[in-house]
Amino acid sequence: MKKILALVLVVALALTAMVSCSINDKEVAVIWAKQTDDFSATMADALDRALYIENIKYKHYDANGDSDAQKKLVDDAIAGGAPALVLNPCNDVVALHALKAAKEANIPLIFMCATGILDTVLNLVQYDKVYSIDVDAASLTQKLGERIAKDLIENANDKDKKNDYDRNGDGKISYAFTDVVSLEAIGNSLLVQAIEKYISESNAAVKPVLEAAIFAPKLTAGENVTSIFEGFTGAEGNDKVATNAELLLSMEDGDIDDILLAMRAYQLNYNKLVTHFIPLYTVGVSANAGSLLAETAKDEEKAAYSVMNTIDSGYVSAAALEDDDAMATAAAVILRNFIKGNEPLKDVVADYVDGKKISVPYTIYG
């Protein structure tokens, strides 16, 4: 029995050693433009998970916004024998420098979230071991438009809720954008087109009509949005009282704090008072990205807020978010393939791939 137990122990230890052994001897260099911002922090966390799953040894480096420092980090990593580079470049100059250096060293290079890099840099240097991974900007309007339309249709078909969006009962959903300045920009908005297309193709018994009510410029302070809520009498008033806007669209998650703080003056979207809730949709860099609301909210609410928990707390309806985990997974899989000598795009989601560009669709949270 002791011999059997000993043999089992030896096998277990051997398996543990195999699992803990990385597929690369030298560390892959993951070099950030500035690792301390919300985007890089959440993206770095996603890469940590993805690279761990693929058993890839790596190390993060932070250029702290200094392009010269980032170029040096690239050069030092290559000189130190890094088998591959993952780069979130400060600018095109750094990207071009890294591409030339990686090509000369014959090591893989993956650009992370560097919109436009392929167009401006890869046309200058042809290299078969470079890929760019970023969010699919074209998917934003489709994803968010479908979600808003779905909510509108469900509301219109629910006899108990049919006035939740149409607060004044005129059969129209008056909406406001918060980052455009002209009627033409709103009228031709791809997002509005996506919403209207989804509604027109649905089987909803009642189809709400979208109507641009007001045109708020890009917000810089809470006081700029108070006009949106004029006519609302506060928590003690009629829960169906009209407001200038019955649905809000914010294309910048940085505006959400200003909007929410302005709404508080009217007891809107506050303390989960559903009867005093105006549907609010936004775009976020990440579900875990931070929010200034923690700094400007009342003392008892200074817990760290994020796009995700403003939705969970009932302040925001939904958000279109960059899929950090899917982007990180694509990077880790490509690195694994290069290290093991496999075809680089093996196991990468085919729908994401367009030549050297890996575009990951937005996801909806809420």
Is the domain covering 2-135+324-361 a CATH 3.40.50.10070 domain?
A: no
By C-alpha distance, which of 247, 262, 137, 123 is closest to 195?
247
- State the pLDDT at residue 181: 43
Task: Classify domain 138-321 at the CATH topology level.
Answer: Rossmann fold (3.40.50)
Give the C-alpha separation, 251 to 180, whole Å. Answer: 9
By C-alpha distance, which of 186, 196, 189, 188 is closest to 149?
196
Helix (H, G, I), strand (E, B) or coil at 332: helix
241 vs 16, more confident: 241
Is a pLDDT exceeding 80 seen at residue 37?
Answer: no
Is a pLDDT exceeding 70 seen at residue 157?
Answer: yes
Question: How buried is residue 103: exposed, middle or buried, by Cβ count under 10 Å (0-12/13-18/19+)?
Answer: middle
**Amino acid, res. 171:** G
- State the pLDDT at residue 275: 63
| pLDDT-derived band at 60, boundaries 50, 70, 90 | very high
Mean pLDDT of 154-175: 73
Q: Please, what is the average pLDDT of the chain?
A: 77
Q: What is the pLDDT of residues 200-222, one digit of tens each?
A: 888 777 777 777 654 444 444 44
Task: Tell me the whole-structure pTM to 2 decimals.
Answer: 0.80
Give the C-alpha separation, 153 to 135, whole Å. Answer: 28
| pLDDT-derived band at 176, boundaries 50, 70, 90 | confident
By C-alpha distance, which of 365, 338, 361, 363 is closest to 349?
361
CB 195 within 8 A of CB 209: no
Tokens encoding 286: 């990440």
Q: What is the pLDDT of residues 101-140, one digit of tens each?
A: 999 999 999 999 887 776 778 778 889 999 999 999 888 8
Give the C-alpha separation, 215 to 178, whole Å. Answer: 7
Phi, psi of 93 (to 5 degrees): -65, -45
Phi, psi of 129 (to 5 degrees): -110, 30
Mean pLDDT of 22-47: 88
With pLDDT > 70 as the criterion, what percentage of the chain qualifies? 69
CA dist 210 → 163, 216, 230 (Å): 14, 17, 20
DSSP state letters, 69-111: HHHHHHHHHHHTT-S-EEE--SSHHHHHHHHHHHHHHT--EEE
- Where does CATH 3.40.50.2300 sit in the chain? 2-135+324-361
- State the pLDDT at residue 314: 77
Q: What is the pLDDT of residues 280-325, one digit of tens each?
A: 888 766 655 555 444 444 444 434 456 677 777 778 888 888 899 9
Mean pLDDT of 182-197: 66
Is a pLDDT exceeding 90 seen at residue 328?
Answer: yes
CB 157 within 8 A of CB 204: yes
